[in-house]
Protein backbone atom coordinates (compact mmCIF):
# COMPACT_ATOMS: atom_id res chain seq x y z
CA UNK A 1 0.00 0.00 0.00
CA UNK A 2 2.73 2.48 -0.95
CA UNK A 3 1.41 6.05 -1.01
CA UNK A 4 -2.11 5.12 0.10
CA UNK A 5 -3.85 6.43 3.20
CA UNK A 6 -6.08 4.16 5.23
CA UNK A 7 -9.12 6.33 5.97
CA UNK A 8 -10.20 4.05 8.81
CA UNK A 9 -7.28 5.32 10.91
CA UNK A 10 -7.94 9.02 10.31
CA UNK A 11 -9.68 11.23 12.85
CA UNK A 12 -10.64 14.90 12.86
CA UNK A 13 -8.08 16.89 14.83
CA UNK A 14 -9.48 20.38 14.24
CA UNK A 15 -12.39 21.85 12.27
CA UNK A 16 -13.24 25.52 11.75
CA UNK A 17 -15.81 27.39 9.70
CA UNK A 18 -15.25 31.05 8.94
CA UNK A 19 -16.89 33.71 6.86
CA UNK A 20 -16.13 33.76 3.16
CA UNK A 21 -16.92 36.29 0.46
CA UNK A 22 -20.52 37.47 0.15
CA UNK A 23 -22.36 37.71 -3.16
CA UNK A 24 -24.49 40.85 -3.33
CA UNK A 25 -27.59 40.70 -5.52
CA UNK A 26 -30.86 42.60 -5.82
CA UNK A 27 -34.40 41.24 -5.86
CA UNK A 28 -36.92 43.29 -7.88
CA UNK A 29 -39.89 44.47 -5.82
CA UNK A 30 -43.11 46.35 -6.49
CA UNK A 31 -43.18 49.86 -7.94
CA UNK A 32 -39.62 49.73 -9.32
CA UNK A 33 -37.96 49.16 -5.99
CA UNK A 34 -35.24 46.59 -5.25
CA UNK A 35 -34.37 44.66 -2.09
CA UNK A 36 -30.76 43.61 -1.48
CA UNK A 37 -29.98 39.91 -1.15
CA UNK A 38 -26.69 38.84 0.43
CA UNK A 39 -25.69 35.28 -0.43
CA UNK A 40 -23.17 34.29 2.23
CA UNK A 41 -20.46 31.69 1.72
CA UNK A 42 -18.02 30.12 4.17
CA UNK A 43 -14.49 28.76 4.34
CA UNK A 44 -14.38 25.32 5.96
CA UNK A 45 -11.06 23.95 7.19
CA UNK A 46 -10.77 20.36 8.45
CA UNK A 47 -7.46 19.02 9.77
CA UNK A 48 -7.18 15.26 10.14
CA UNK A 49 -4.52 13.13 11.77
CA UNK A 50 -3.81 9.44 11.73
CA UNK A 51 -1.19 6.78 12.09
CA UNK A 52 1.75 6.73 9.73
CA UNK A 53 1.98 3.49 7.76
CA UNK A 54 4.35 0.99 9.35
CA UNK A 55 7.60 0.34 7.47
CA UNK A 56 9.30 -3.00 7.27
CA UNK A 57 13.01 -3.42 7.99
CA UNK A 58 13.97 -3.64 4.29
CA UNK A 59 12.37 -0.28 3.52
CA UNK A 60 14.09 1.40 6.47
CA UNK A 61 17.56 0.16 5.49
CA UNK A 62 17.05 1.12 1.84
CA UNK A 63 16.00 4.62 2.85
CA UNK A 64 18.97 4.92 5.23
CA UNK A 65 21.35 3.93 2.41
CA UNK A 66 19.95 6.62 0.13
CA UNK A 67 20.33 9.29 2.83
CA UNK A 68 23.85 8.30 3.87
CA UNK A 69 26.59 10.53 2.44
CA UNK A 70 28.82 8.94 -0.17
CA UNK A 71 32.25 7.83 1.11
CA UNK A 72 35.11 9.60 -0.57
CA UNK A 73 38.17 7.57 -1.59
Q: Which residues contact 14 (CB under 8 A, 6 or more apart)?
A: 45, 46, 47
32: DSSP letter: G
What does the pLDDT average to over 38-46? 96
pLDDT of residue 52: 65
What does the pLDDT average to over 36-52? 92
Average pLDDT score, the chain:
84
Residues 26 and 35: beta-carbon distance below 8 Å? yes
Cβ atoms within 10 Å of 50's Cβ, excluding its own: 13
11: DSSP letter: E
Provide the whole-model pTM.
0.50
Which helix (H) or strand (E) segment holds residue 49: the answer is: strand 34-49
pLDDT of residue 65: 73
Amino acid sequence: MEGKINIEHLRVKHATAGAGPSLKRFLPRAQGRATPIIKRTSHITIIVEGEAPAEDAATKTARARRRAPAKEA
